[in-house]
Structures are given as structure tokens and as C-alpha cells.
């Protein structure tokens, strides 16, 4: 038994019909209409909406970053003032600096360097009415340093 060929046989009429349709020579070719393509919507409002959403997302992200970095400023700490404050800082060059640090009413002169941190001196205590909160009520650094140098 001989197997049949797999390739289909083409009918000459089918080839003629396809050629006529392709060339538009058959009757009724003029009446065949392609489906109407709907017009695209206006691009302007869509672009504005996309950019508005992008700005909103970036704004929310940057707000979250700001809150993450500054959450301690926003925390009330039960209404108490902080006890430990850096009242003044003076860089001495390189990685050395002098700090006036306040803890409650006490004040200290501290030096920092790559070798470590050293307590240089206890400074006069602050009066109760000028308790350090943000460093604005602290006496000027040059006055404190001059007073300390005169004492030695």
C-alpha cells in the first residue's frame, strides 16, 4: 500500500478566486468595507494624569524619607526637655574639635580627635533659668574659653 502525500492539492478555481479578490477584480469587491477603526482619545489629559500620578508617588516617597530621618524631632518625649545637648562646636582642623556639652545644668569642655574623646574641664553650671535647650541660651564659646584659660 502506498502512503498518500501530505501536501494538499490546490484547486485551480480557488487560486483564480484568491487572485481576483486580491486584485479587486471580482464583483462586489467595492462593497466589502473594513470595520471602522475608532479614533484614539486625546493624548493631552492622559499624559497630564500620568505625570500627576508620578509627581504624587515621588512626593509621597520623599515625604516618607523626610519623616524617617526626622522622626526624633517629631517625637514629644512625654513633654520633657532633652537633658544632653551640644551647646557649641569649634573645629580645630582635620578631625579635631572642641565641644561645649550641657547635661541638665552642668557644662563640660570636651575635645575629640582621632585618638578619642577627652574631658578637658568642667565649666560653671548654668543657672536654673537658663537651662540649655537648643544652644541659643548658652554663653558664647570665646567667653567660656577665656574664662577657662584665666583660671589656669
What are the distances in angstroms from CA 58 to CA 17, 35, 51? 61, 43, 10
Residue-number span of the structural domain to which 95 is assigned: 80-151
Nearest Cα residue to 121 out of 149, 91, 82: 149
- Alpha helix (H) residue ranges in the chain: 12-23, 43-69, 71-74, 141-151
Domain presence at residue 90: yes
Does residue 134 lie within any of the structural domains? Answer: yes
- How many structural domains is the chain composed of? 1
pLDDT digit of tens for each residue in the chain (152 aa)? 666 655 555 556 666 566 656 655 555 545 556 677 787 778 888 899 999 999 999 999 999 999 888 877 766 555 667 788 888 899 988 889 999 998 888 899 999 999 999 988 888 876 655 544 455 555 677 777 777 777 76
In a domain, 10, yes or no: no
Task: Classify residue 72: in a domain, yes or no.
Answer: no
69 domain residue, yes or no: no
| 99 domain-assigned | yes
Residue 70 lies in a domain: no
Amino acid at each position: 500500500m502506498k502512503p498518500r502525500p501530505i501536501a494538499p492539492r490546490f484547486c485551480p478555481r480557488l487560486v483564480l478566486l484568491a487572485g481576483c479578490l486580491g486584485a479587486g477584480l471580482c464583483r462586489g469587491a467595492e462593497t466589502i468595507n473594513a470595520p471602522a477603526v475608532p479614533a484614539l482619545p486625546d493624548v493631552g489629559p492622559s499624559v497630564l494624569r500620568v505625570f500627576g500620578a508620578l509627581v504624587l508617588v515621588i512626593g509621597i516617597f520623599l515625604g516618607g524619607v523626610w519623616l524617617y530621618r526626622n522622626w526624633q524631632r517629631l517625637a514629644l518625649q512625654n513633654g520633657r526637655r532633652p537633658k544632653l545637648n551640644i551647646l557649641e562646636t569649634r573645629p580645630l582642623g582635620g578631625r579635631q574639635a572642641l565641644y561645649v556639652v550641657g547635661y541638665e545644668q552642668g557644662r563640660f569642655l570636651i575635645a575629640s580627635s582621632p585618638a578619642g574623646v577627652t574631658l578637658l574641664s568642667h565649666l560653671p553650671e548654668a543657672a536654673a533659668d537658663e537651662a540649655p535647650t537648643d544652644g541659643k541660651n548658652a554663653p558664647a564659646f570665646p567667653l567660656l574659653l577665656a574664662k577657662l584659660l584665666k583660671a589656669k
